[in-house]
Amino acid sequence: MALMRLQKFLSVAGVCSRRKGEALMAAGRVRVNGQTVTVLGTKIDPDIDRVEVDGRRVVDRSRLIYLALHKPEGVVTSCEQADTPVVTDFIDLEERVYPVGRLDKDSTGLVLLTNDGPLHHRLLHPSFDHEKEYDITVARPIPEGALRRLAAGMPLMGTRTRPARVTRLSACRFRIVLQEGKNRQIRRMVRKVGHKVLRLHRIRVASIRVGGLKPGQWRHLTPEEVKALTAPSKPQSRPKPAGQKKRAKSRPKLAIPPKSAKARPRPKARTFKKK
């Protein structure tokens, strides 16, 4: 991008008017690459220079990009890895974008990519309660007790997983909704209950779905989707009320298939809600 006057950049980025920008500069409240700038008419390169007002970085939101990609199997979500295809190989844009979170090499499904740093943090931090939904197929029929354990949370990698929502789809297939993303979490959880994942497919992150995207295809998020993701919200804290007695945990109810189709109609899939 061509050089631009600093006060014009502040205006284009939506910080303030040009005149107000000049006042901020004169007051010593604007820095470029760590140096305070007070000379009116100073020019910057928005693609290279880091501009801050009162210590906060200024980002031209008109240049922010938000993408949804259907990651194929065998592709990694790191930005650079020798001799291995990465998700950014599919994006043919001049601007550089970064994948939000991980989806391991053997898994498929939705990956979000953006150059919006604050949103990247919001989507990754578990305190914001952004959901991620997965479609899981295991090698053999998984019993109801194992699904209950996945839904209730379990010890894993020195901590305990948060409660999840689990919905049975068939004997060997279920969906799980998480609000966290530990390394290979679902595969580790399923292995802990004595089963093996054959297919792991992410179908949703927050309110964004993979939809009809084919493996390797990507699209820009709609303005409505971007607005939903970037809407201001505060992290959800979970303080324990002082003096409140712990309630006895009730076991999630499961939809148990009938022994005979003639005996009673087949029940609908049930969802285990987190406790």
- Residues 188-225 pLDDT 10s: 999 999 999 999 999 999 999 999 999 999 999 999 99
For the purposes of burial, counting CB atoms within 10 Å of the CB of 96, is it exposed (0-12), middle (13-18) or buried (19 or more)? Answer: exposed
Q: What is the pLDDT of residue 123?
A: 83
Residue 54 designated active-site: no
At residue 244, the pLDDT reads 46
User: CATH 3.30.2350.10 in the chain, residues?
Assistant: 66-230
pLDDT value for 14: 72
Residue found by looking up tokens 């939903």 in the block: 228
Residues 72-76, mean pLDDT to the nearest whole number: 95
In the chain, CATH 3.10.290.10 covers 4-62
Burial category of 219 from C-beta neighbours within 10 Å (exposed 0-12, middle 13-18, buried 19 and up): middle
Confidence band (pLDDT; 50, 70, 90) for 80?
A: low
Q: Identify the residue with better confidence: 2 or 18.
A: 18
User: Which of the following is catalytic: 49, 104, 106, 129?
Assistant: 104
User: Between these two residues, 261 and 70, which has the higher pLDDT value?
Assistant: 70
Which pTM does this prediction carry? 0.68
The CATH classification of domain 66-230, taken from the options 3.30.2350.10, 3.90.550.10, 3.30.365.10, 3.40.50.20 = 3.30.2350.10
Give the pLDDT band of residue 152 (cuts 50, 70, 90). Answer: very high
> With pLDDT > 90 as the criterion, what percentage of the chain qualifies?
55
More confident of the two residues 227 and 60:
227
Q: Identify the band that residue 257 occupies on the pLDDT scale cut at 50, 70 and 90.
A: very low
d(CA 241, CA 189): 30
Residues 60-72 have pLDDT tens digits of 766 789 999 999 9
pLDDT for position 199: 98
Q: What residues contact 246, with CB distance under 8 A and at least 6 apart?
A: none
Q: Which two tokens mark 59?
A: 């980002």
Q: Which tens digit of pLDDT belongs to each residue from 15-48?
A: 888 889 999 999 999 999 999 999 998 999 887 8
Buried b (16+ CB within 10 A) or exposed e, 16-52: eeeeebbebbeeebbbbeeeebeeeeeebebeeeebe
- Taking residues 110-128, what's their average pLDDT? 83
Average pLDDT taken over every residue of the chain = 84
CATH for the stretch 4-62: 3.10.290.10
Q: Which two tokens stand for residue 260?
A: 């005979």
Kindly give, in sequence order, each residue whose CB lies less than 8 Å from that of residue 11, ignoring residues fewer than 6 positions away.
17, 18, 21
pLDDT value of position 73: 96
pLDDT band with cut points at 50, 70 and 90 for residue 163: very high
